[in-house]
Amino acid sequence: MVIGYVTIVILTSLGFNGALGGRPLYGGSLFDLGGGMMVAIISGLVGGSIAGFVGAARGILNAALVLVPLTGDTIYVLFFFKKSTAPFWFDALASGTLMVCTVLGGLLSERVGRLRKSMA
């Protein structure tokens, strides 16, 4: 769980601050908006897959456990982080996208593990 969360934090920080330059996404260009969406999707899938890989038989469960710290992170961003210029709904949908992709990453990891087991 912790490894998956740390992976998500690192990838989102590198993606939003590095690749996208820390620019606000809301009201920006379609390129910035699409880039932000891809950062959330890739970070969630990779973090969920890593969490699922750690507990191969319970990939979805381990990926779902990553949602615990992500929920705390989301509460902080939505209610206490005053730098955001985006409306509440925009930040909430972005966090939701990250969470859904995290669980899908765990599902993917679990399915790949089952496929490898059946082939062996």
pTM above 0.85, yes or no: yes
Query: DSSP states of 14-62 as a string?
Result: IIIIIISTT---TTS-HHHHHHHHHHHHHHHHHHHHHHHHHTGGGHHHH
- Count of positions (residues) in the chain: 120
For the chain of 120 residues, list the mean pLDDT of each consecutive stretch of 10.
Answer: 92 90 83 91 96 82 93 91 83 94 93 78
**Residue 56, pLDDT score:** 62
**Residue 51, pLDDT score:** 92
Angle 30-54/2-13 helices, nearest 10 degrees? 160
Of 111, 117, 96, the closest CA to residue 41 belongs to 96
